[in-house]
Structure 1
Amino acid sequence: MNIKKWFFLFWTTLLIGAGGAVIAGLALQTVNGAIHFKSTADTLIYPLILLGYGMLVSVYAQLGFFAYLILNYTGIGVFPRRVWQYVQVGLSVLALLELIFLRTFIGSGRNVSSDWLLGTGILLTALIVAYFKVRSTNLSAWIPTFFFMTAITIVEIIGVLQIGVDSATVFIVIPLIACNAFQILMLHRILKPISA
């Protein structure tokens, strides 16, 4: 990884986060109509606010991605490779169980259907992204990709989950998952050595 490759990853992820936030924000506005614009200027400024918010989410996703890379590097160094794979699968399952079940039973007044929908969405997205990552690389990429798309994504959204507002969750989860999927799918392309 050199500066040029990192620069490419940074800016493309920034654009994907911005696009994901605009899509999520406009979709929520269309469905809920929660924001009432007072003038045409408010209507025109709203997409710009969404762009800025999406860029912030993409930077947050990039921090999580580099934290994952350090965690993965450390895990490979500490554990034998097979054991590290079991640890990743175990942590992924625990994160999904916490998201879908434990929050519902421990937290009072929780909406069970929104937790189920979010957990199922993250699980299906992780399976799809892992499938495409394996098609692009090899079978050994399945577990790390699944771990990143489930456990790391769930850790990244803990703050918004504590708010307990479904629209806020959707507003951060869509650009965050888009950024995470893009980063993990691009990693092997960026790290590919340049042939002479």
Structure 2
Amino acid sequence: MKTRNLVYLFFSTLLIGSTAGMITGIVLDWSEYWADLKNGEFISFLIVMLWLLGVSSIFSLISQMGFFAYLTIHRFGLGIFKSVRLWNTIQAVLIAVTLFDLVYFRYAVFAEVGESVVSYILIALFLLIVGVIVAYIKQKETNKQAFIPALFFIVVVTTLEWIPGLQSNDPKWLWLILIPLLVSNVWQLLTLHRLIGKKA
């Protein structure tokens, strides 16, 4: 990839991920921020926006590190197993394990007595649905072998990057961390092949 394209990918991902996180943070506490605005506390609101932008930029950077780490791992996987089909099968198994763990372990650790497992399933299902949609787009724009790697990246790598939020189990932090990660990952995945001009 040309240096110009690499710089573009870095800064565009940083901007898009940070902005998505800032908007998410504002939406989650909109009633509180709206009350501040009505009371004329514009400076406080601006400070909060800048804070959300800064925090979200950290997770956007984590997303970028995860993306390039996965590109390296993907190449190693192809080299070790000598077969795209075998490597994709292994990734498919890891996707299933990750989704199961995302539900089972969080429910086992954080669920209150009598609490339903549905909310834990919904989060994993949301991530899977986004992954399938993005992987389908990636496949259509590149080749059919790209579906599983794209799904793996969105589900497994995003989950690994999301661990700080998953450990806190605070609903606001869950989404405040997930959205910039997910938006950044989706953007990178669907932008890379356009920048390098390859159907791969």
Q: Does TM, normalized by the shorter one, top 0.5?
A: yes
- Equivalent position SS for 2:189: helix
Task: Indicate which of 52, 55, 62 corresponds to 1:53.
Answer: 55
Alignment match of 1:95 (pick from 68, 86, 98): 98
For structure 1, which segment, 35-44 or 150-159, has the greater mean C-alpha deviation from structure 2 after superposition?
35-44
Q: 1:14 Cα deviation (Å)?
A: 0.6
Displacement, 1:86? 0.5
Report the alpha carbon displacement of residue 103 of structure 1 after superposing the two structures with TM.
Answer: 2.5
Aligned to 1:107: 109
Contact 1:114 / 1:166 at 8 angstroms: preserved in 2? Answer: no
Letter in structure 1 aligned against 2:125: T
**Uncovered stretches (5+) of structure 1, i.e. residues with no partner:** none
For 1:146 and 1:62, the matched residues in 2 are separated by: 17
How far does the alpha carbon of each residue in 1:41-88 deviate from its partner, in whole angstroms, 9 at most, with x for none? 111211111222222111110001011111101100101222101111
Identity level (%): 35
For 1:9-40, what per-residue CA distance to the aligned partner results, in whole angstroms no more than 9, with x for missing partners? 00100111111112101110126x49985943
Would the aligned equivalents of 2:135 and 2:147 in 1 still touch at CA under 8 Å?
yes
| Equivalent residue runs for 1:106-125 within 5 Å | 106-109=108-111, 112-125=117-130
User: Within 5 Å, which residues of 2 pair with 1:9-48?
Assistant: 9-30=9-30, 33=32, 39-48=41-50
How many pairs align? 191
Structure 2: runs of 5 or more not aligned? none
Once the two structures are TM-superposed, the CA of residue 108 in structure 1 deviates from its matched residue by: 4.7
Letter in 2 for 1:49: W
2: CA distance, partners of 1:15 / 1:30:
22
- The amino acid of 2:80's aligned partner reads V
Q: Deviations over 1:136-185 (max 9, x none)?
A: 11211101100001111111111210111111000010111000000011
Partner of 1:64: 66
Match of 1:158 in 2: 163
Runs of 4+ in 1 over 4 A off after TM superposition: 34-38
